[in-house]
Amino acid sequence: LIGSGVKYTVPRFQRDYAWTREQWEDLWADIETLEDEHYHYMGYIVLQRKGQHDFEVVDGQQRLVTLSLVVLAAMRQIRNLDGHVTEIQENKERLKVLTDRFIGAKNPISLRVDNKLSLNRNNGTYFKAICSNLEAPIKRGLTQTNKLLHKAFRFFSDKGMGDTGIKIAEFIEELTSGMIFTKIVVQDDLNAYKVFETLNARGVQLSTPDLLKNYIFSVVTRNDDVSDEELDDLDETWSEVVSQLGESNFTDFIRYHHNFQTRSVTKKYLFASVRRLADTPKKAYVYLQSLTYYAPVYASLLNPYDEWWANQAEIYRPAKKYLEGFSLFNIRQPFTILMAAFKKLPGEEFVKLVRYLYVLSIRYNVICHHSPNEQEKLYNQIAIKVFNGDYARAGHVKNGEEFRKLYPENDAFSNAFEFYKMPSRRSSKKIRFLLSEIESYLGHHSDYTRTTLEHICPYHPEQNWHEYFGKGVNDIQDRLGNVILLEKDDLKRYGFEKKKKFYLQSPFRLAQKVAEYDEWNLQNLNDYQTWLSEQAVSAWEII
């Protein structure tokens, strides 16, 4: 990469250098393996071509900068070697060759290096000083990111790379030829975004936030009328957005934020559509401010226990239970509506809307397992209407044609619930949540996290239960009709007659209902789950 005759530029607004001692130590451990293994794979580096010999570093800058610091530290060791006149002269020649090859050519007047690798606006000057002087200067007011560059350079300068110029040069050669990258070259930022999303989907984490930041900031500063102080503020604002969301949630946030303003697009076309939303300095600035407002809203919709909710008016508190349901079942489709609604609707109306969408989600997504594609399309239409003010109350959403089209009718919901199964060993928490909701409807309120899931017919029935239950005993373990809530798991593999006595004394309404049956068999289980489905219709109903 660096040893070839090309130049690399880290975009002006790319994230600052951020590696710490932990990453430096890991890299040095990898370098030490080169002597035996001869090469080490460093992962992907994504470059955007700017000219025949010029590239922007879209992803991979932290590794590229740190490897450059290792080379610079090795060159410093060569410069500081003592020896005979001949040896000193040879080392000067080595330094010139290494500088031209890896660092860049020196200006004959200023003696400053014209870097092959140029960093962003916050790291560029300091990194250039290291390249020019093979020293990491200590200055007053050094920023945190440049302190990391300083410490990294000192860290590698203290490592043993050889005791002669020849050995250190051999170390550099082994390092630069042994660290292997997969190089991806894209022609524009749209192409880069597609690469990022493809690789991220395959588990290779590239920084989509950086890609979007570079675009937004380049548009904001297009007219060169933004001061460094304003840029610093914008940079800090961006960092807050990313830190609240984390990179794994960032693309979803951008998509949901996009989809309450305009027609929804897939991830593949998201970046192109965002570019159209923010294609002038003024629109890009407004877009950035909008991200700043909605980032904590989205993060808190994801996490109903986020402390952000404690800082909101008390009227929002009832929404927590419904948001917990979304979180538990990993349902995020409603968030595009709720993000818009949080800003546009009064608190009381927002909470009503959260409940309506929660009930719809239980019916549509959890029990009926309908397609999310149609749902996302109609949610997009609802969200736009909320954002534009066409739907100014929760009732407008509930009574709108989009919501009514999605809402499963009572008969369809009841039929799906009547024979509903959920893997009880893997989904115990979800089942306890659902059953506690029905318990609440029946008048018994309990914290589902403090309950235990009781299988009426044991999950692994012994011979006595096989003989007692009869036909179908191996098919009912995960039926909702074969599980109830109890406070403690004390009944083990007791027979039904003994269990009934405990059920009758239990405060849980479903346990009391099961105790009304004289025996537990497939016919009675079906009868009970039919009754349970009728309660579910009322528990999750919008009138």
Output the pTM of the full model.
0.77
Give a yes or no: residue 307 inside a domain.
no
Distance (Å, rounded) from C-alpha 126 to C-alpha 69? Answer: 12
Task: State whether 163 and 37 are in the same domain.
Answer: yes
Give a yes or no: residue 2 inside a domain.
no
In the chain the first and final C-alpha atoms are separated, in Å, by 65
Distances in whole angstroms, Cα of residue 507 to Cα of each of 244, 440, 442, 445, 485: 42, 12, 11, 10, 10
Task: State whether 340 and 369 are in the same domain.
Answer: yes
Type and span of the H or E element at 43: strand 40-49
Cβ contact 205:43 at 8 Å: no
Task: State whether 340 and 454 are in the same domain.
Answer: no
Residues paired with 48 in a beta bridge: 56, 186
Task: State whether 506 and 393 are in the same domain.
Answer: no
Distance (Å, rounded) from C-alpha 239 to C-alpha 292? Answer: 10
Query: Which token pair is 313?
Result: 């008016």
pLDDT tens per residue across all 543 residues of the chain: 666 678 999 988 788 899 999 999 999 999 999 888 888 988 888 888 888 888 988 888 999 999 999 999 999 999 999 878 888 899 999 999 999 888 887 777 776 778 899 999 899 999 999 998 999 988 888 999 999 999 999 999 999 999 999 999 999 999 999 998 888 887 776 666 566 656 555 555 556 777 788 788 888 887 777 777 888 888 888 888 888 887 778 889 999 999 999 999 877 788 888 888 898 989 999 999 999 999 999 999 999 999 999 999 999 999 999 999 999 999 999 999 999 999 999 999 999 999 999 999 999 999 999 988 899 999 999 999 999 999 999 999 999 999 999 999 999 999 999 999 999 888 999 999 999 999 999 999 999 999 999 999 999 888 989 989 988 898 999 999 999 999 988 787 789 999 999 999 999 999 999 999 999 999 999 999 999 999 999 999 998
Q: Provide the b/e sequence for 362-399 (b: ≥16 CB within 10 Å).
A: bbbbbbeeeeeeebeebbbbbbbbbbeeebeebebbbe
The full DSSP string for 374-431 is HHHHHHHHHHHHHHHTS--SHHHHHTSHHHHHHS--HHHHHHHHHT-B--TTT-HHHH
- End position of a domain, from candidates 360, 381, 408: 408
Task: State whether 348 and 298 are in the same domain.
Answer: no
Task: State whether 435 and 534 are in the same domain.
Answer: yes
- End position of a domain, from candidates 302, 331, 346: 302
Give a yes or no: residue 434 inside a domain.
yes
Cβ contact 66:23 at 8 Å: yes
Give a yes or no: residue 199 inside a domain.
no
Task: State whether 354 and 403 are in the same domain.
Answer: yes
| Residue recorded with tokens 């309990």 | 446
- End position of a domain, from candidates 351, 385, 408: 408
Task: State whether 395 and 418 are in the same domain.
Answer: no
The CA radius of gyration of the chain, in Å to the nearest whole number, is: 31
Task: State whether 169 and 108 are in the same domain.
Answer: yes
Distance (Å, rounded) from C-alpha 420 to C-alpha 363? Answer: 12
Give a yes or no: residue 194 inside a domain.
no
Task: State whether 349 and 419 are in the same domain.
Answer: no
Number of domains in the chain: 4
Range of the domain at 487: 414-539
Give a yes or no: residue 180 inside a domain.
yes
Give a yes or no: residue 196 inside a domain.
no
Task: State whether 37 and 178 are in the same domain.
Answer: yes
Task: State whether 249 and 392 are in the same domain.
Answer: no
Give a yes or no: residue 446 inside a domain.
yes
